[in-house]
């Protein structure tokens, strides 16, 4: 319900306006002087003021000035018998919505009141929309900053420069590198910087689906195409129209499906399963694999013809252990992100904790670093992440870290194989006991001196 304040020194006018406005569903309060009216505005908080210029305690123009000074957005309609042109001009200049001369027709007054309230509502809606737009822009910028890769090392800065140059094109891109290095992050960056950024970035992990399901996920199907196809399904290629299709772990796609997908890239059209209708394909392809490309080609899991079509540009993302300069900036970024999610202060890292981060080999790459920082922020009760907050594997002696990351790497045959397995068992026990030799000997079921002699034999030295 809109609220209207009426300030007029004539009692009959006040009562007439009160009855007229209340019949229209407005809440109304009255005042007969400027001082009473100004006091009423503070308590009542009206949406609109009807103001007479001929008030007993001060000129209505001065009252208008005070109202606009205290409540700049409040709509004010002047109602007065002092209907000189100069008064009308002066009050409009001061911000009055309209000037009505007495006597007036009730319908005329109500029309002006409705227009003033509509304009006020439109202005309020516009301000709210602008505020929401500004907030969405802020959130988008913040999200993009959080998603943006952190490039400190020379190799990653070179990749970033190449990404910025090739992103605006529609050229196919193949991203290679170990699991967890950030291939998907680079794919996100390519899409955001492309001319297709308004379209969708559609992601399909070829290793996440059974081989017999990848084709239907990719191409879609029509109702009745196979048992269980109860409705039409458009598929990923359709969803990526005017956008980007990201095929992660492309080498896990069945070879016969690779052949069919190659034809899509060449002819830019496809058919959903069970359909006779050909559909145009309009997407930009970004693919990724964590397999060494030459080994994948040699074993036949990745077809050469598809590979050559994919690798218009090939981006090799180095593992984190080969670009340790990126670790501090990544750790700070992840720390800030997780602290915000947990409503904790942005963490600092003690020099010792930073050194452990720098010394660790990061077999899981950036993904493992991200998980380690989340682990640390959860455990950190203050503002400083210390060594005690880091995951246990980061605090193992260096010789044991590789055993935890890659168990079962013993090799050879005969006595060499037995030696390798015994050495690995010792390392596993030491890792399990966090380097405590007494506990490791107990786990292995041998005496401590025997463990010492075997450690010496196999060159195991814990620093």
Question: How does pLDDT run along the chain (463 residues), one tens digit per residue?
Answer: 889 999 999 999 999 999 999 999 999 999 999 999 999 999 999 999 999 988 999 988 999 999 999 998 889 999 888 767 888 888 888 999 999 988 888 899 999 999 999 988 888 888 888 888 777 766 655 555 554 556 789 999 999 999 999 999 999 999 999 999 999 999 999 999 999 999 999 999 999 888 778 999 999 999 988 887 888 899 999 999 999 999 999 999 999 999 999 999 999 999 999 998 999 999 999 999 999 999 999 999 999 999 999 999 999 999 999 999 999 999 999 999 899 999 999 999 999 999 999 988 898 999 999 999 999 999 998 889 999 999 988 876 555 555 555 555 544 444 456 677 778 888 888 877 778 888 888 877 788 888 888 888 888 887 6
pTM: 0.60
- The candidate with the shortest Cα–Cα distance to 20, out of 101, 120, 104, 96, is 104
SS3 readout for the chain: CCEEEEECCCHHHHHHHHHHHHHCCCEEEEECCHHHHHHHHHHHCCCEEEECCCCCCCCHHHHHHHHHHHCCCCEEEEEECCCCHHHHHHHHHCCCCEEEECCCCHHHHHHHHHHHHHHHHHHHHHHHHHHHHHHHHHHHHHHHHHHCCCCCCHHHHHHHHHHHHHCCCCCCEEEECCCCCCHHHHHHHHHHCCCCCCCCEEEEECCCCCHHHHHHHHHCECCCCCCCCCCCECCHHHHCCCEEEEEECHHHCCHHHHHHHHHHHHHCEECCECCCCCEECCEEEEEEECCCHHHHHHHCCCCHHHHHHHCCEEEECCCHHHCCCHHHHHHHHHHHHHHHHCCCCCCEECHHHHHHHHHCCCCCHHHHHHHHHHHHHHHCCCCEECHHHCCHHHHCCHHHHHHHHCCCCCCCCHHHHHHHHHHHHHHHHHHHCCCCHHHHHHHHCCCHHHHHHHHHHCCCCCC
Instruction: Quote the pLDDT of residue 452.
Output: 84
Instruction: Quote the pLDDT of residue 145.
Output: 52
Rounded to whole angstroms, how far apart are CA atoms 303 and 251? 8
Instruction: Quote the pLDDT of residue 239.
Output: 95
Q: Which residues are bridge partners to 80 per DSSP?
A: 101
Domains for the chain: give ranges and CATH numbers.
3-121 (3.40.50.2300), 166-317 (3.40.50.300), 323-395 (1.10.8.60), 401-457 (1.10.10)
* Length reported for the chain: 463
Long-range CB contacts (within 8 A, 24+) of 130-134 = none
Rounded to whole angstroms, how far apart are CA atoms 156 and 164? 12
Instruction: Quote the pLDDT of residue 81.
Output: 82
Instruction: Quote the pLDDT of residue 406.
Output: 52
Instruction: Quote the pLDDT of residue 359.
Output: 86
């Amino acid at each position: 319900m809109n609220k209207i304040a009426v300030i007029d020194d004539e009692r009959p006018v006040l009562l007439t306006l009160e009855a007229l406005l209340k019949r229209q569903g407005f809440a109304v309060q009255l005042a007969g002087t400027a001082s009473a009216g100004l006091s009423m505005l503070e308590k009542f908080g009206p949406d609109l003021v009807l103001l007479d210029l001929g008030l007993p305690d001060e000129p209505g123009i001065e009252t208008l000035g005070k109202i606009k000074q205290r409540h700049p957005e409040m709509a004010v309609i002047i109602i007065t018998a002092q209907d000189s042109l100069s008064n009308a001009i002066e009050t409009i200049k001061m911000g009055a919505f309209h000037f009505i001369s007495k006597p007036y027709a009730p319908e005329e007054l109500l029309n002006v009141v409705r227009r003033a309230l509509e304009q006020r509502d439109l202005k309020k809606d516009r301000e709210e929309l602008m505020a929401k737009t500004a907030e969405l822009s802020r959130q988008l910028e913040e999200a993009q900053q959080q998603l943006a890769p952190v490039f400190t090392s020379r190799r990653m800065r070179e990749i970033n420069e190449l990404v910025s140059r090739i992103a605006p094109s529609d050229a196919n891109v193949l991203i290679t590198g170990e699991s967890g290095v950030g291939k998907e992050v680079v794919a996100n960056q390519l899409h955001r910087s492309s001319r297709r950024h308004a379209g969708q970035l559609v992601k399909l992990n070829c290793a996440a689906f059974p081989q017999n399901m990848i084709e239907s996920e990719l191409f879609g199907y029509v109702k009745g195409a196979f048992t269980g196809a109860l409705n039409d399904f458009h598929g990923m290629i359709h969803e990526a129209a005017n956008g980007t299709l990201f095929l992660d772990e492309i080498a896990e796609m069945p070879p016969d499906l690779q052949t069919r997908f190659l034809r899509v890239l060449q002819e830019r059209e496809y058919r959903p399963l069970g359909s006779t209708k050909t559909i145009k394909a309009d997407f930009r392809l970004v693919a990724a694999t964590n397999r060494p490309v030459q080994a994948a080609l040699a074993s036949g899991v990745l077809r050469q013809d598809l590979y050559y079509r994919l690798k218009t540009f090939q981006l090799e993302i180095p593992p984190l252990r080969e670009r340790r300069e990126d670790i501090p900036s990544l750790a700070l970024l992840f720390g800030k992100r997780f602290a915000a999610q947990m409503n904790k202060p942005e963490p600092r890292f003690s020099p010792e904790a930073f050194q452990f981060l720098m010394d660790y080999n990061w077999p899981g790459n950036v993904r493992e670093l991200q998980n380690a920082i989340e682990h640390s922020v959860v455990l950190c009760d203050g503002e400083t992440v210390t060594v005690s907050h880091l995951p246990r594997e980061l605090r193992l002696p260096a010789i044991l870290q590789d055993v935890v990351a890659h168990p079962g790497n013993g090799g050879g045959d005969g006595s060499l194989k037995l030696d390798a397995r015994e050495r690995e068992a010792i390392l596993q026990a030491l890792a399990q006991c966090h380097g405590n030799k007494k506990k490791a000997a107990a786990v292995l079921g041998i005496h401590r001196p025997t463990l010492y002699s075997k450690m010496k034999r196999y060159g195991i030295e814990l620093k």
